[in-house]
Structure 1
């Protein structure tokens, strides 16, 4: 299993704080700096506006072919749920520069908690699977009504990737397990800040959580358990607030390597290199 590990987004102003990766770095150089240390990133900007071809060309160039991009679907697909043919065309065609560079990961459909398992929503999800046929599409379903073996069996049948989540223990959401619905797995670690998950005023506040080494060991055990079932696994840390994710990723890498799951990542000492990283 090839494991890709990164963060939810790479353009984080908080990471300019002393001791973090963007200290003294120009904003134009954020991505190249990020790509020197992490081999995957989940693109957030596409949720708000679908970037054009030139924007994706710039991402491919600045990342130097060292980082896989998971591209989040625009909110018209997941929150408004009223995409037009033009929206589908843009979402499918704009990331072509990433595909040509060999660094395109799955698309991510991040549905809100209000997206319950109803007949209409099941039909909508089936429609998405048909429109994205031939592309890897990971689906995050936050309401616990979806957290059932038969749902994952259906997703496997239609070629969808179940997003395995780690949420705060607040109830009503899927359990923190790694589930396999195909050759590719997808894990999103949101942190466990129970106090601000529902009441938080912003995503930064909800994701203000630093995982302990014990918690990273627990996830490493779960990942190692499916090592022989997956060809690839994407692991994204959403707890980017105050640089928490930057501290947790080395913990997870170490824990995985200790359990016989080799983790490849760019070598920070070779930021100018064009190779794809080495075993750490």
Structure 2
């Protein structure tokens, strides 16, 4: 099983001095990021679908080293009124990533308000039809979806279940790694109970540093998936990017996976200790 590990987004100004050297231009963030991580979750496409030239630039700046998972625009998951032109742009624009061999799954991140109702089930089926032939990972935040029969249906229609790690606040899926296809997708949001509902921003909600014990627990689950031969690839995305928490957690998880005989990509030693930022 090939394991990819990265973060939700890379355009984080508070990583200056941690991952990015002080004074690094935002246009150079991806080039630096790609020397340390082999995948990234593209968040900007949630707010506006980039064009072909933008994706060409990403493929070039990544140096051919980093896989991209591409978040669907909010018209698909929040307003849920996409037009044909939205589908065309969402499906066609990342073509430069496909040509470069850097395209991972699409990610549909539905809000907590998206409950398991007949109407929403029909919508999810329609979305699966429109993205047929492409890997589409689906995060369903309301606990009503967290059922074996849902995952069985997703497997039947070619959808990838996103396994999430949320704070233990109730009403959301349990932190279990499930795989519904050849590709698994794990999103680690952090466990900050105090800010998950009350936080005024995503940065506040994701302000959490995982303990080694918590990451060892996830490494055990990943090991179980590998031993069972349930997936050919697994994407692990840390969403706790606030204050560089994810940057500190990823080396710990890599170490835990290696200890269990699961090979993961490691930065070259001279890159990880090259004095680019405080963290490395």
Aligned residue for 2:215, secondary structure, equals helix
How big is each residue's C-alpha offset from its partner over 1:218-275, in whole Å with a ceiling of 9 and x where there is no partner? 100011100121100000000000000000000000000001111124436369xxxx
After superposition, residues 105-124 of structure 1 pair within 5 angstroms as 105-124=104-123
Work out whether 1:233 is the aligned partner of 2:234.
Answer: yes
1:223 maps to: 222
2:260 maps to: 259
Work out whether 1:6 is the aligned partner of 2:13.
Answer: no
The whole-number CA distance in structure 2 between the counterparts of 1:99 and 1:84 is: 23
Question: Retained in 2: the 8 A contact 1:37–1:268?
Answer: no
Shift of 1:155: 0.1
Normalising by structure 1, report the TM-score: 0.95
List gaps (5 residues or longer) in structure 1.
Answer: 272-280
2:276 maps to: none
Most deviating of 149-158 and 227-236:
227-236
Aligned residue for 2:180, secondary structure, equals coil
1:133 maps to: 132
Question: Retained in 1: the 8 A contact 2:56–2:97?
Answer: yes
Shift of 1:61: 0.2
Question: Retained in 1: the 8 A contact 2:59–2:100?
Answer: yes
Question: Retained in 1: the 8 A contact 2:5–2:38?
Answer: yes
The whole-number CA distance in structure 1 between the counterparts of 2:133 and 2:271 is: 35
Shift of 1:28: 1.5
1:68 maps to: 67
Question: Retained in 2: the 8 A contact 1:22–1:30?
Answer: no
Work out whether 1:211 is the aligned partner of 2:216.
Answer: no
How big is each residue's C-alpha offset from its partner over 1:144-183, in whole Å with a ceiling of 9 and x where there is no partner? 0000000000000000000000000000000000001011
Question: Retained in 1: the 8 A contact 2:36–2:271?
Answer: no
Aligned residue for 1:220, secondary structure, equals helix
The whole-number CA distance in structure 2 between the counterparts of 1:151 and 1:195 is: 30
Work out whether 1:195 is the aligned partner of 2:215.
Answer: no
Structure 1 residues 93 and 266, CA, compared in 2 at 3 Å: closer, same or farther?
A: farther
Aligned residue for 2:184, secondary structure, equals strand
Aligned residue for 2:255, secondary structure, equals helix
Shift of 1:4: 0.2
1:51 maps to: 50
Count of aligned pairs between the two proteins: 270
Question: Retained in 2: the 8 A contact 1:66–1:266?
Answer: no
List gaps (5 residues or longer) in structure 2.
Answer: 273-280
1:181 maps to: 180
